[in-house]
A and B are shown apart, each in its own frame.
Chain A
Amino acid sequence: MSETPLLEVENLAVHFPIRSGGFLVTGPGRAWLRAVDGVSFSLQAGETLGIVGESGCGKSTLGRGVLRLIEPTAGRIAWLGEELGSLGNEALRAKRRDMQIIFQDPLASLNPRMTIGSIIAEPLITHEPGLTKAEVNQRVREVMDETGLLPTMINRYPHEFSGGQCQRVGIARAMILRPKLIVCDEPVSALDVSIQGQIINLLMQLQRDFGLALLFISHDLSVIRHISHRILVLYLGKVMEVAGRDSLYLAPRHPYTRALISAVPIPDPALEREKKRIVLEGDLPSPIDPPSGCVFRTRCAHATARCAESEPPLENVDAGHQVACHHWRELGGGPSS
């Protein structure tokens, strides 16, 4: 990779201290919840990296940690080669205009007492306080047009809008500063199927028009497959597998990725009924007391003693495809083997 990536994340960790019985225990006895534990990836300008995992795998914390909305415990984040962790609040704020975020619950993320117009204008007024009212208004109308909102809606309030339209408002607010990166935290999960597609198409259109990079966080593998160029599979705060979307879906290497893919119901009765599903036993272990070695071993059909002893490193399978499993060589490739 010759180009400097837009975003480079190395060994990012976000740990939360645990309160027990209402008291924050300090000192060596203190327990930690390891929400994100040593995650590395890079993102090129104009690229979509999908982050997929089940609830509690740390995917939302990862998105917030990258933007330093939650202060990471350890690790390095570089923005166009420049270290973000060392920046002071003022300098970080200036960088933030390039990095925006949209959320899962479109209505809850909009202030109910502000009009759509003032919600969308807010980041602009914050970052460019010198603009006149007319200039702000002009920019708001432009971005509303780009995101499929009618300019006549500018003085309405969020409760007058449907979920899909509220998500468009969230996207317009994120887009008004012309950012280079948008972190999308489950942006279509709360929407009806017929509306999901509209929002996905909008995000992909904006990416083509403005060269946006997207960090697309979702639990929905079908949506992730459609929108991403590359995909990172997260389990209990750790990276299990990273690959281009086609190699991940057509030739997954990690037993967890395989189980995840095989578990997704496909809307085709013939395929769905003959499909061999890998059903994982049990539930996600607690991130407060994760298993030793490989965190997935307690639910893995291929686990051996070695998996409990040492943590598997991320190894290269081929160009752009990495997997963290001691046994990936024996397990072979292909989705069904």
Chain B
Amino acid sequence: MNALLDVVDLTIRFSTPDGEVTAGDRIAFHIDAGQTVGLVGESGSGKSQAVLALMGLLAKNGRAEGSVRFQGKDLLTLSASDMNKIRGVDIAMIFQDPMTALNPYLTISRQMTEVLIEHQGADAASAKKKSVELLDLVGIPGAAGRIDLYPHEFSGGMRQRVMIAMALLCEPKLLIADEPTTALDVTVQAQILELLQSIREERDMAILLITHDLGVIAGLADRVLVMYGGRIVEEGPVGPVFLEPAHPYTKGLLRSSPRLDEIRGDHLATIPGQPPNLQALPKGCAFAPRCERRFEPCEGEAPSLEAFEPGRARACHLDGPP
């Protein structure tokens, strides 16, 4: 099968005054057209850097190796101007905080029409017409009247809708959503999730959904990638991974989240210890110091991500279930 996005051995390094930091280590995954893939991980797991790397947006002291093939082209080798033709057109991105992603000095109209005028050579009138249509689509009431407002004149949920409308302007094949609902209230989050779901079905667009909220992944994603310490430790279809996690970290994560639909006794299961510092990763498996199934091999060598049944893979030295 030809994947829309195929990431192979993506390694991300930063040179810092304290030495080299590896934020991503041989990350490999693929996204098929129209598929929604969830990427879960805690702070410092490297999930945001992985996404910035494939968009060519790493900070100046960062380097990415490996390959990121999008529709056959390796994004890592593209020139800045070729990358600009893909970014925002075929791949669009929405961020956690819409207020910092929107320019506060420009009206929504200006920020939206600019995209169409720059990328598609549209004229001002048709660009505005299309922008209003998209604001309508994402559920902004009275879009024609509100398009000339500034970002601060919208609420948080409405701003996230504006961001989504803006991302859809050039009809991208892949939408990268980095914690799109984390800053929103739960009732507004429900609105945005519902919106993403309907857009995905309507436009056959692939989504890479980055979040720490397992519930959001459960509702929206087809497949899930679990990251820890800069590596992917488990991947597979959402149903089986949630039902029978194969990596001790995934299992621990699922067990330690309090759930609305059940009472988990007085004592929550927890993962002991702290998430690892990417600057001082242990020699073997990054999760080993917190893992209750740790045995000798874990301290020696980091396990690689290997398929153990069709469509599912994990990076763990264990033979049996976690």
Bound-state CA distance A208–B271 (Å) is: 22
Answer yes or no: A304 CB below 8 A from chain B CBs. no
CB distance from B57 to the nearest CB of A (A): 24
Report whether B187 and A192 are in contact in the complex, using a CB–CB cutoff of 8 Å.
Answer: no
For B272, the closest partner residue in chain A by CB is A198
User: Contact mask A270-294 → B, CB, 8 Å, 1/0?
Assistant: 1111000101100110000000000
Contacts of A165 in B (CB 8 A): 274
Q: Which residue of B253, B260, B271 contacts A261 across the interface (Cβ within 8 Å)?
A: B260
For A273, the closest partner residue in chain B by CB is B219
Contacts of B263 in A (CB 8 A): 225-226, 246
Answer yes or no: B257 CB below 8 A from chain A CBs. yes
Name the interface residues of B179-228: CB closer than 8 Å to any CB of A: 185-191, 193-194, 212-219
Report whether B212 and A193 are in contact in the complex, using a CB–CB cutoff of 8 Å.
Answer: yes
Report whether A283 and B186 are in contact in the complex, using a CB–CB cutoff of 8 Å.
Answer: no
Report whether A263 and B187 are in contact in the complex, using a CB–CB cutoff of 8 Å.
Answer: yes
User: Contact mask B265-281 → A, CB, 8 Å, 1/0?
Assistant: 01111111011000000
Answer yes or no: A268 CB below 8 A from chain B CBs. yes
CB distance from B135 to the nearest CB of A (A): 16
Residue among A221, A226, A249 with most chain B CB within 10 A: A226
Answer yes or no: A194 CB below 8 A from chain B CBs. yes
Name the interface residues of A240-256: CB closer than 8 Å to any CB of B: 246, 249
Report whether A264 and B215 are in contact in the complex, using a CB–CB cutoff of 8 Å.
Answer: yes
Answer yes or no: B288 CB below 8 A from chain A CBs. no
Q: Which residue of B186, B190, B219 contacts A221 across the interface (Cβ within 8 Å)?
A: B186
Answer yes or no: B43 CB below 8 A from chain A CBs. yes
Report whether B275 and A200 are in contact in the complex, using a CB–CB cutoff of 8 Å.
Answer: no
Residue among B155, B158, B256, B269 with most chain A CB within 10 A: B256
Report whether B186 and A223 are in contact in the complex, using a CB–CB cutoff of 8 Å.
Answer: no
Q: Which residue of B185, B191, B215 contacts A54 across the interface (Cβ within 8 Å)?
A: B185
Report whether A54 and B43 are in contact in the complex, using a CB–CB cutoff of 8 Å.
Answer: no
Contacts of B254 in A (CB 8 A): 267
Interface size counted on chain A using CB atoms at 8 A: 43
Contacts of B60 in A (CB 8 A): none
Report whether A222 and B258 are in contact in the complex, using a CB–CB cutoff of 8 Å.
Answer: yes
Report whether A201 and B219 are in contact in the complex, using a CB–CB cutoff of 8 Å.
Answer: no
Report whether A267 and B258 are in contact in the complex, using a CB–CB cutoff of 8 Å.
Answer: no
Answer yes or no: B261 CB below 8 A from chain A CBs. yes
For A256, the closest partner residue in chain B by CB is B187
CB distance from B223 to the nearest CB of A (A): 11
Q: Which residue of A54, A197, A221, A284 contacts B270 across the interface (Cβ within 8 Å)?
A: A197
Report whether B261 and A201 are in contact in the complex, using a CB–CB cutoff of 8 Å.
Answer: no
Answer yes or no: B264 CB below 8 A from chain A CBs. yes
For B240, the closest partner residue in chain A by CB is A269
Answer yes or no: A125 CB below 8 A from chain B CBs. no
Bound-state CA distance A277–B216 (Å) is: 13
For A277, the closest partner residue in chain B by CB is B190
Answer yes or no: A151 CB below 8 A from chain B CBs. no
Bound-state CA distance A332–B275 (Å) is: 46
Report whether B194 and A162 are in contact in the complex, using a CB–CB cutoff of 8 Å.
Answer: no
For B215, the closest partner residue in chain A by CB is A265
Report whether B218 and A267 are in contact in the complex, using a CB–CB cutoff of 8 Å.
Answer: yes
User: Contact mask A210-243 → B, CB, 8 Å, 1/0?
Assistant: 0000000001011101100000000000000000
Answer yes or no: A73 CB below 8 A from chain B CBs. no
Contacts of B219 in A (CB 8 A): 265, 269, 272-273
Contacts of A246 in B (CB 8 A): 263
Report whether B274 and A162 are in contact in the complex, using a CB–CB cutoff of 8 Å.
Answer: yes
CB distance from A286 to the nearest CB of B (A): 10
Contacts of B290 in A (CB 8 A): 194
Answer yes or no: A70 CB below 8 A from chain B CBs. no
Bound-state CA distance A162–B277 (Å) is: 10
Contacts of A219 in B (CB 8 A): 185-186
Report whether A222 and B259 are in contact in the complex, using a CB–CB cutoff of 8 Å.
Answer: yes
Report whether A204 and B266 are in contact in the complex, using a CB–CB cutoff of 8 Å.
Answer: yes
User: Contact mask B234-268 → A, CB, 8 Å, 1/0?
Assistant: 00001100100000000011101111110110111
Bound-state CA distance A35–B235 (Å) is: 45
Contacts of B193 in A (CB 8 A): 265
CB distance from A184 to the nearest CB of B (A): 15
Report whether B215 and A272 are in contact in the complex, using a CB–CB cutoff of 8 Å.
Answer: yes
Contacts of B32 in A (CB 8 A): none
Answer yes or no: A308 CB below 8 A from chain B CBs. no
Report whether B190 and A267 are in contact in the complex, using a CB–CB cutoff of 8 Å.
Answer: no
Interface residues of B (CB under 8 A from A): 42-43, 155, 157-158, 185-191, 193-194, 212-219, 238-239, 242, 252-254, 256-261, 263-264, 266-272, 274-275, 290
For the A-B complex with A193-B212, A225-B258, A267-B218 known, give 11 more contacts whose Cβ atoms are closer than 8 Å: A196-B258, A197-B268, A222-B257, A222-B259, A226-B258, A226-B264, A246-B263, A260-B186, A265-B189, A266-B259, A283-B188
7 residue pairs, one from A and one from B, having the closest CB atoms: A265-B215, A267-B214, A54-B185, A263-B190, A197-B270, A192-B42, A226-B258
Interface residues of A (CB under 8 A from B): 54-55, 162, 164-165, 192-198, 200-201, 204, 219, 221-223, 225-226, 246, 249, 259-273, 277, 279-280, 283-284
- Can you sample 22 A-B contacts with CB below 8 Å? A54-B187, A165-B274, A193-B42, A193-B212, A194-B42, A194-B253, A196-B257, A200-B258, A201-B267, A204-B267, A260-B186, A262-B190, A264-B215, A265-B189, A265-B213, A267-B215, A269-B238, A279-B190, A279-B191, A283-B157, A283-B158, A284-B185
